[in-house]
Structure 1
Amino acid sequence: MLSARVLCSALSLAGAPIATWAISVTEIQGNSFRSPYEGQTVNDVYGILTAKDKYGGWISDVPSSDPRESNGIRIYGPHALRGVSVGDDISLTGRVAEYRAANNPNDLSLTELDLIRDIIVFSHDNHVAPVLLGEDRTPPKGQPSAYDDGPDGWLSVPNNVTRLEEENEVLRPDLYGLDFWESLEGQLVTVPSPVAANFPDWFGAVWVYGAWPVAGLNSRGGLTVHFPESGGAPDAHSGAILIGRPLDDTKLPRAYMGMEMSDITGVVTYQFGNYYVLPLTAPDIVSTPDEWPSPTTLLSGSSPCSLTIGDYNVENMGPRSWHLPTIADHIVSYLNAPDIVFLQEIQDDSGTKNDGTVSADKTLSRLTAAIARVSLYEAQYEYAYVAPEDNMDGGQPGGNIRVAYLWRPAKVSLVSGSPAGNATEATEPVLDEQGKVTLSFNPGRIDPINTAWEEARKPVAAAWQTNNGERFYTVNVHYSSKRDSSSAQGDARPPVNGKSEQRTAQVNVTATFISSLLDLDPTAHIIVGGDMNEFLQTRSVFAPFVGLLTDMNEVAGVPPSERYTYVYEQHAQEIDHILVSDAVKAKGGAVEHVHINTWATSKGAQTSDHDPTVAKVWVCASEDREVGSAHDSDSDQGIVQAPWNQIIVL
């Protein structure tokens, strides 16, 4: 492809060393993350220009027999390639640089040539065959890096133990995702039959995977974070790649999970904390998913002991929120009006106005009224919450988001005899005059002044009774967000999992409360749910729950790839959970994730950024489920009852 390979005379410009031999692109790239020629000026670098943008372009040299060495490289300089066209066979002199944006210290560096001069054009209209991913080279499954070697792989805690580029080990592209994409840095590649794993990000880039083996493929076409059947750490979906802005300024399709596009050919680069393919031109839409969200099939049974529990993060809902009527419709039309609904992100009565208001009566009364209207007044709900201190629970300033309960008094009620709690007083399990377990404040916050809850929503526990007098208990949580996390494709290994230590402390406080309740009644029926902002696959965070609570997905046998309520980057993921005590687990149950938001056709079409979940549980000591039981077709909503222990994922 390139014939001119000549000796160069030893020169020096302003003291910068210049290589005395013509150096190939593969030698410059080397077999690790950083170039062995970093900082040196290299003379007579040959290559064919494969792509251009306003900042420069990319050249490709002859391929190396070593798959660790890329034969492509970025040529940086807004005017460096003036007069040079794609397909030109050229030589040039430039300085080897490792570029990292100053405001992103956790980014990996991009090997490039800058300070370009002495360009010679030898010929025109040359062709470079792109690397066909999935055939010529295939992304590995597993972990992003050899340093993601903790028990939970890339999700292991502690984070930021190793800096990848400080180690600068020889690449292992056959084993590790970051090594794989680094070994292709600057090269022209083709992604065959790309499928979108998410909506476009704020800049229009979209995560895709191509026609190669991937882990965690769900029925929609997304990639779900889950434990592999063979055991070990969860896959990081390193086979997914971000598709950036096309170099010809065409527009990427408005993608969503499961959309298939035509083949994408472009150059591999690193920017904004991730590896990208920058397409030469935008792909076309080939196909879109033909299935859309359906209502849950789970219905409350006619037995007082058979209950449905809904869980929904309603994303900053205030009394005047545009999406309040839609959420009301979801609760009725998609969740089948559960007996109890766990809500998160209920704002105060002034919404985002930062005026000291903490009451949410107006917000919740408008929501319950809207639900009643949607259901033609068949679904009547009461509500309960504990008001926070002003601006002490994080979230949008002035919004004072909190967790709240809705419940249908025709089926359940709060256990009476205890006052409702306030922002700072802790509820505790106690025995009432009848010797039954109740709570000192009902509902009440769990250890609200514990430092684990600094700038975080406090959980609210409640003691309930069915219409036949049986008691059960719930805890509604909204743990700290992953704010301050680092890119999963960044320098810190394992990636920084923002606030994981705080979430671990929050789980520990919650577990201590659950344990104290079980100490008084080892057979207590307990349901813990809400937005936990963490994968169960980050086992270190959830370790305090081991032996106390079980994931309802496990109880119901939901396939691991179908367990998701949220989508972020390339990952479909479950960060909203419903966990139950052994007494509930022993009686079985069902759970369905209703993908009304993750299956939307655009980010703007979402009502919330979370999907709701519905679980069906049995909350009584008695297991008599014959006449009037959970098997009975005469449900309390006049709709045919779904079979007990039914496993359906929507």
Structure 2
Amino acid sequence: MPSKRTARIGALTVAAVCSTLSAVVLTTPAHADTVHIHDIQGTTRISPLAGRQVTDVAGIVTGVRTYGSSRGFWIQDPNADDNPATSEGVFVFTSSRPTVSVGDSVLVTGTVSEYVPGGSSSGNQSLTEITKPTVTVVSSGNAVPAAAAVAAGSVPDDYSPAGDAAANGSVNGLALEPAAYALDYYESLEGMNVQVSDTRVVGATDPYTELWVTVKPREHANRRGGTVYGSYTSQNTGRLQIQSLGSTAAFPAANVGDTLEGTTAGPLDYNQFGGYTLVANEIGTLKSAGLERETTHKQSRGELAVATYNVENLDPADATFEEHAAAIVNNLRSPDIVSLEEIQDNNGAVNDGTVAADRTMQKLIDAIVAAGGPAYDWRSIDPVDLADGGEPGGNIRQVFLFNPERVSFTDRTGGDAATAVGVGKAHGKARLTVSPGRIDPSGTAWTNSRKPLAGEFVFRGETVFVIANHFSSKGGDQGLTSQYQPPTRGSETQRHLQAAAVNAFVKEILETQRNANVVTLGDINDFEFSDTTKILEGDGELWSAIKSLPKSERYTYDYQGNSQVLDQILVSPSIRRDCDLTYDSVHINAEFNDQISDHDPQVLRFRP
């Protein structure tokens, strides 16, 4: 069936506008006179009739959802009022399979409710509904109200008004201004039949049968068809999620840059996995743009190639080893050093105390050799069981994969899950006290998160310090379509601590040896313009090399149709000064519906 992620978590009804949308139910609903749908929707995000019983609300059925835990149907009043802020459509939540059909003229009696997808703690906006309905079918086969066209000219460039300071930053109580703000515009169409035409895909079809399009093809566009998220104030208002009311088999398997030609139409919903969503009962014809996976160029004999690649919870039971190996050999051109993130232990998510990952790594190394690549060696440190976050039982960690024919690893014993690596000095140069070693593994910055892995390499007689990272995720942050504007990014707190800890370690290396070659890389889980990155860069100790690319090419990940940076490679001044330094974000995953990881790898080439 279509998306299984339509689960209803904590349906709420409210008696009045409130910033927290806490569960408030009127236990003795007032019996109102018959009202129109636009009376229910009102001119703010919260219905003025929330919690009240309404009788014989008239409308034409525009869509029916028979699957998941959010079963119900949409109705729309064909006789619109003259207020652009009031929607003419509303969702009727039945909980069981609806018995109405598209085109039925119905009268609905029930309770007006405000449902927050994901629960009130998510910060999401609410969806106005009629619940516990009694439905009378008046007639069938009626024309469905014409779909409102969502297009470049109709969606405002400004994303959202600032939230009401007196309501903890919520926009719920603010009067809608659909001509001024994109979120207000979409809210004014909530529950209505809408359509988009000839739209470009900016977020590939995912496993939940969803994709993202843009109605603003020129909005922060990149050369491969995506829409780039380059700042907190560039939310990209033209993005819209598309789901389907039909069979999953009929849903297009789209890549970024493809086009849905013709009309895609259906009710405008709001859900916890992307906000405003066109739930289509008519989907345009997919036209492929022929997007191809990128291949970087091979490093020269005198260049050191260092890469980072999040392989997304790789364990021996996965079927993606050949694909990952082919990507490393063919698309990344066999880098000399690869920082791998999300290598799981030998039995993956089985939670039995296993922490070793030698089987995982050997299977990957063997696959690389079979794909024509070098016989890589590897170094890592097994984590304490269940101490590093990620999938429970998986014990993800960072691993150094390196080509011993090109580089050598300097082994110094003593590194383990609990021992902190330090910086020493020998013959006037910095050296690690243990190699490999973990940075401050008992520090509070790394609670339930992956600890950075530091290692010392030698390339053509030059020492290079490499620090592999996987910072804490953005889980729990409020979404761009949150009722709180601007949204709160609570997960930053831990990443700021992590960035400060890694910067302090790099600074210690550079204070010991001013011209030391230091590469800090991995899944930073934050943008190149973020405070996390600024803290990590410090006072020039590091520089994020993705900034060497044009702004339109700075992305490693695609989230809700926004191409953005999560993975980075940062370098010390001695490397930054290399005039031959080249950086490449190699787009092989994030833009494709058949991705083997949700991250694109990056490669840095320089001459130590």
Fold shared, TM-score > 0.5 on shorter chain: yes
- Look up the match of 2:228: 224
Matches within 5 A, 1:421-460: 421-432=415-426, 434-460=427-453
Note the C-alpha offset of 1:86.
1.4
Quick one: which amino acid aligns to residue 276 of structure 2? Y
Note the C-alpha offset of 1:447.
0.9
- Look up the match of 1:27: 39
Structure 2 vs 1, CA of residues 599 and 102 (structure 1 numbering), >3 Å: closer, same or farther? closer
- Look up the match of 1:240: 239
Would the aligned equivalents of 1:199 and 1:256 in 2 still touch at CA under 8 Å? yes
Distance 2:107 2:355 in 1: 68
Residue 109 (structure 1) aligned with residue 126 (structure 2): yes
Note the C-alpha offset of 1:169.
0.8
Note the C-alpha offset of 1:584.
1.5
- Look up the match of 1:612: 601
Q: How many aligned residue pairs are there?
A: 571
What per-residue deviation string (whole Å, max 9, x for no partner) do you get for residues 399-444 of structure 1? 322211122333332346x435221111122211x11111111221
TM-score, structure 2 as length reference: 0.84
- Look up the match of 2:325: 328
Distance 1:98 1:586 in 2: 57
Note the C-alpha offset of 1:201.
4.2
What per-residue deviation string (whole Å, max 9, x for no partner) do you get for residues 341-389 of structure 1? 111122334544444443334433443343334336xx24332222222
Distance 1:83 1:373 in 2: 57
Residue 370 (structure 1) aligned with residue 370 (structure 2): no
Structure 2 vs 1, CA of residues 249 and 148 (structure 1 numbering), >3 Å: closer, same or farther? farther
Distance 2:100 2:300 in 1: 75
Would the aligned equivalents of 2:74 and 2:89 in 1 still touch at CA under 8 Å? no
- Look up the match of 2:402: 407
- Look up the match of 2:566: 575
- Look up the match of 2:377: 382
- Look up the match of 2:285: 284
SS of aligned partner of 2:203 = coil
Would the aligned equivalents of 2:590 and 2:597 in 1 still touch at CA under 8 Å? no
Quick one: which amino acid aligns to residue 423 of structure 1? A
Quick one: which amino acid aligns to residue 359 of structure 1? A
- Look up the match of 1:539: 531
Structure 2 vs 1, CA of residues 45 and 250 (structure 1 numbering), >3 Å: closer, same or farther? farther
SS of aligned partner of 2:198 = coil
Distance 1:435 1:42 in 2: 81
SS of aligned partner of 1:296 = coil
Residue 559 (structure 1) aligned with residue 512 (structure 2): no
Note the C-alpha offset of 1:538.
3.0
Matches within 5 A, 1:24-423: 24-42=36-54, 45-53=57-65, 55-77=72-94, 86=103, 88=105, 95-100=111-116, 103=119, 106=122, 107-114=124-131, 121=138, 125-126=142-143, 128-134=145-151, 138-147=154-163, 162-165=169-172, 168-210=173-215, 212-213=216-217, 215-227=219-231, 233-246=232-245, 251-261=250-260, 262-272=262-272, 274-285=275-286, 287-297=287-297, 299-303=298-302, 306-319=303-316, 321-375=318-372, 379-415=374-410, 418-419=412-413, 421-423=415-417
SS of aligned partner of 1:477 = strand
Quick one: which amino acid aligns to residue 257 of structure 1? V
Q: Which runs of 5 or more structure 1 residues have no equivalent in the other structure?
A: 1-13, 150-159, 228-232, 620-650
Distance 2:98 2:400 in 1: 63
Structure 2 vs 1, CA of residues 582 and 257 (structure 1 numbering), >3 Å: closer, same or farther? same
Note the C-alpha offset of 1:205.
2.8
User: Which of the two has higher C-alpha Rg?
Assistant: 1
Note the C-alpha offset of 1:79.
9.8
Would the aligned equivalents of 2:304 and 2:459 in 1 still touch at CA under 8 Å? no
Distance 2:182 2:509 in 1: 45
Matches within 5 A, 1:497-516: 497=489, 499-516=491-508
Identity %: 30
Structure 2 vs 1, CA of residues 569 and 60 (structure 1 numbering), >3 Å: closer, same or farther? same
Distance 1:79 1:454 in 2: 43
Note the C-alpha offset of 1:23.
4.5
Residue 466 (structure 1) aligned with residue 459 (structure 2): yes
Quick one: which amino acid aligns to residue 452 of structure 1? A
TM-score, structure 1 as length reference: 0.79
Quick one: which amino acid aligns to residue 110 of structure 1? L
- Look up the match of 1:17: 30
